Amino acid sequence: MAPVVALLMGSESDRERVRPAAETLEKMGVEVLWEVISAHRQPDRLRDFVREEAPSRGVEAFIAAAGMAAHLPGVVASLTTLPVIGLPLSSEGLGGLDALLSVVQMPRGVPVAAVGIDNAVNAALLACSILALKHGEVADAWRAYRVELAGG
């Protein structure tokens, strides 16, 4: 059975910027579980998904994409001890810097890993690095990707 990463977005309008993460994960043999849940508008739904539904569906890590105040990654991290990767998304106004700072300025004890603004591929690759510790097939795919990246 393939490992599962949940891709969370606060809005359907984020899907195209998150899609490269799904494509990268799938190339590495990782199943993707897409969910659109707003930390602000659907806090109860988010809590239920993170605490109950995701574990029951085999989720081993989360990628939470958010722009502006970017609370989604931090709220997810507050609800689970599984790895959470924050994917800050660009937006008008501050160009994503607001989202990046929201993701990286988490209080001690509630860690969220962060990647660059709109860098969905690196979010997926970080998830693969984590999953590779447990799943040999992901480790093999990750190593092959790195060899290919180096031109070998």
CATH of residue 91: 3.40.50.1970
Q: For 12, list phi and psi in degrees, rounded to 5.
A: -60, -30
Q: Band of the pLDDT at 19, cuts 50, 70, 90?
A: very high
Average pLDDT over residues 57-71: 94
Domain count, the chain: 1
What is residue 92's predicted lDDT score, i.e. its pLDDT?
Answer: 83
Q: Is residue 44 within 8 Å of residue 76, measured between CB atoms? A: no
Percent of the chain exceeding pLDDT 70 equals 100
In this prediction the pTM is 0.96
Q: Name the residue range of residue 19's domain.
A: 4-149
Q: Is residue 12 within 8 Å of residue 18, measured between CB atoms? A: no
What is residue 94's predicted lDDT score, i.e. its pLDDT?
Answer: 86
What is residue 28's predicted lDDT score, i.e. its pLDDT?
Answer: 97
What is residue 31's predicted lDDT score, i.e. its pLDDT?
Answer: 97
Average pLDDT over residues 18-40: 97
Mean pLDDT for all residues in the chain: 95
Q: Hunting for tokens 């931090």 — which residue is that? A: 74
Query: Please, is 39 exposed, middle or buried when counting C-beta atoms within 10 Å of its C-beta (0-12, 13-18, 19+)?
Result: buried
